[in-house]
Amino acid sequence: MFKKILIANRGEIACRVIKTCRKMGIATVAVYSEADRDALHVELADEAVCIGPAPAKDSYLQMDKIIAACQKTGAEAVHPGYGFLSENAEFSRRLEEEGIVFIGPKHYSVAKMGDKIESKKLAIAAKVNTIPGYNDAIDTPEKAVEIARKIGYPVMIKASAGGGGKGLRVAWNDKEAHEGFASCKTEAKNAFADDRVFIEKYVEEPRHIEIQVLGDAHGNIVYLHERECSIQRRHQKVIEEAPSPFLDPETRRAMGEQAVALAQAVNYQSAGTVEFVVNGKDKSFYFLEMNTRLQVEHPVTECITGLDLVEWMIRVAAGEKLPLRQEDIKLDGWAIECRINAEDPFRGFLPSTGRLVKFIPPKEGNGVRVDTGVYEGGEISMYYDSMIAKLICHAPTRDGAIAKMRDALNAFVIRGVASNIAFQAALMQHPRFVSGHFDTGLINESYPKGFDASMVPHDDPALLIIVAAAMHRQHQARNAQISGQMPGHEYRPGSEFVVRLTDGGDYLVSVHPAPGGWDVRLDGETYAVRSDWQFGQPLYRGTINGEPFCMQVERRGLKYRLFHWGKQADLMVLTRRAAYLSTLMPKKAPPDMSKFLLSPMPGLLTQIAVSPGQEVKAGEVLAKIEAMKMENVLKAERDCVVDTLLANPGESLSVDQPIIAFR
């Protein structure tokens, strides 16, 4: 077994590998960019080596620097994680030449399966079901349109070296094929240094289901059941679960056997994933691609099988034989994973960067697992992907896993950057998701005009009012206690308040002390609120009329911001007189920014496509911004004339920073 392993990655997956290495008694080496100097994976590793500036192309994608770090530290093997160099055959080959073990498949397997064009040809030869399409690289947007017409819309335009939703577009007409081809090539070149693009038929009403395989150097390959990954936004996975609520045992076995056949065709050694698109009507399935690496969503497979996939990647790389036969692979319960990302679901899911003022994940154990690479006070950088953490819940049944996930999301506190927790909470309550009857179009079909706060289900607004009143009364009681200890001060807190929801009107409540908490009267009903909550705690836990509840709270003077089941509400607690006087205050109108193009996110301005004096038509491209490895195109909302350029390409932008002024 190896004595020292270098992890050629960062963030959550680097921390994940380090944990398994510790369990196995293996020393670890972290590599880091200058932006990650204070990152969690650097702190957790036994040694750490800086490999360059913040941009990945200057650090995490630099093979020479990573190999030099291995030689400097004496690392015998490299675990690549996912992303970056994990599916780079050249990296695997060079490590082998240097006598360093690559913890993953052999370079020839990576080369064959990592190339989507070649892998599809191999799949056909291995008698694996494949999607109709054009299986060679396409050079021009005009050629892309021509091929798309022959195949028949809709089509998928895909980067040959792509993954993670990057370098992928669905086109429904000539215009989208032309534009999608250009965007795919740009994204593919930036993300993978390979801009080859191909096209295949888009299967409508599809489900994205993948098979986890595990092979060793002795010819043994097994499949570890499936993962359902159909809940996607912009072709990036949002929620994953294992097993799939859609498959029956016969289809599961057929897909598993085809996945093993494909892995055998390339002498696959390590953990890998064969992805399929499954027809939601008849369960017919087609090969999409093979990911020759560990997947982001591997924890759900670990939960239902009891296997540590990272450990077995390491053991296989060290030459050990798999002790498992296919019939030994168990399927225990149900597991769901939510990707917690630094993005604002109420602003079109735009990236959010900055410092994590608060980061308090739910308590692990009893079927709750949190994989993360961040910590409170750390920074979410614009240079890398948006993932903050992976929240995984395991239970005997699917309904149990969903219920556990709802509670865990409710207790996940993130402040300082926006997160998608509210969106995940809404999906956990979505009827189609709960029923298991969904496909990859669920998010687009459910939120065609975007997602906003009104779309987050909530049990009862009275709950927010009651909790805000109880907290405010507790605050008054605490002030009275403090004031009573000061000579010459006497404080008599009142018991009747007006609770004002910023988007829901005023409510008159009265609050009175009771053993272990407060009795709150609202609309003629009395609610017994019992809690041991103390000031400064971000979670208000307790019972209301004997029923347990948990609510996140931020307190700002007389104002409270409460979070429950993903719903956010701002409330103010006032005396009746103050509530009346506040209605007489004049309201200041916000400044008119309609003649400016504002940056919708923090990011790097890569292009301004217009010049002063230019007439622009609605829909024309104005600028492009790159953030968290994704290219974002800003287009004109209406006809206009450019007046002044207020930012320059290469400039780092903040949210709402003006880029262009119009006449």
Q: Which helix (H) or strand (E) holds 124?
A: helix 116-125
Residue predicted with more confidence, 93 or 601: 93
Question: What does the alpha-carbon distance between residue 279 and residue 532 come to, in Å, rounded to a whole number?
Answer: 52
Tally of residues, the chain: 663
The partner residues of 523 in beta bridges, in order of sequence, read none
Smallest Cα–Cα separation from 636: which of 662, 656, 612?
662
CA distances from 278 to 36, 260, 286, 434 (A): 40, 17, 6, 19
With contact defined as beta carbons under 8 Å apart, do 10 and 385 qualify?
no
Mean pLDDT of 627-640: 85
For 550-561, write each residue's pLDDT tens digit. 999 988 767 888
Rg of the chain (C-alpha set): 27
Smallest Cα–Cα separation from 597: which of 650, 649, 640, 630?
640
Tokens of 299: 């924890």
With contact defined as beta carbons under 8 Å apart, do 278 and 248 qualify?
no
Which residues, 6 or more positions from 201, have their beta carbon under 8 angstroms from its beta carbon? 131, 132, 133, 151, 152, 154, 155, 156
For 140-175, write each residue's pLDDT tens digit. 999 999 999 998 899 989 888 876 677 889 999 999
Judged by phi (left if over 0) then psi (alpha if -120 to 50, else beta), residue 483 lies in: alpha
For 404-447, write each residue's pLDDT tens digit. 999 999 999 999 999 999 999 999 999 999 999 999 999 999 99
Say what percent of the chain tops pLDDT 70. 97
Smallest Cα–Cα separation from 41: which of 76, 71, 79, 94?
79
Tokens of 310: 């990272």
Mean pLDDT of 515-527: 93
**Which of 23-37, 98-112, 267-281, 485-499 is predicted least confidently?**
485-499
Identity of the amino acid at 513:
P
Residue 630 pLDDT greater than 50, yes or no? yes
Tokens of 96: 């082998």
With contact defined as beta carbons under 8 Å apart, do 571 and 560 qualify?
yes
Residue 629 pLDDT greater than 90, yes or no? no
Taking residue 600's Cβ as centre, other Cβ atoms within 10 Å add up to 19
Tokens of 334: 């149900």
Mean pLDDT of 338-367: 93
Supply the angle between the helices 89-97 and 63-73 in degrees, to the nearest 10: 30
Q: Which helix (H) or strand (E) holds 265?
A: helix 249-265
For 71-93, write each residue's pLDDT tens digit. 999 999 999 999 999 999 999 99
Measure the CA angle with vertex 372, ends 370 and 376; round to 5°.
105
Note the pLDDT of residue 488.
Answer: 46
Identity of the amino acid at 423:
F
CA distances from 366 to 114, 275, 392 (A): 37, 30, 11
- Rounded to the nearest integer, the mean pLDDT of the chain is 92
Catalytic positions: 289
Question: What does the alpha-carbon distance between residue 242 and residue 169 come to, in Å, rounded to a whole number?
Answer: 27
**Which of 95-109, 486-500, 536-550 is predicted least confidently?**
486-500
Note the pLDDT of residue 204.
Answer: 77
Identity of the amino acid at 625:
I
Which residues, 6 or more positions from 581, have their beta carbon under 8 angstroms from its beta carbon? none
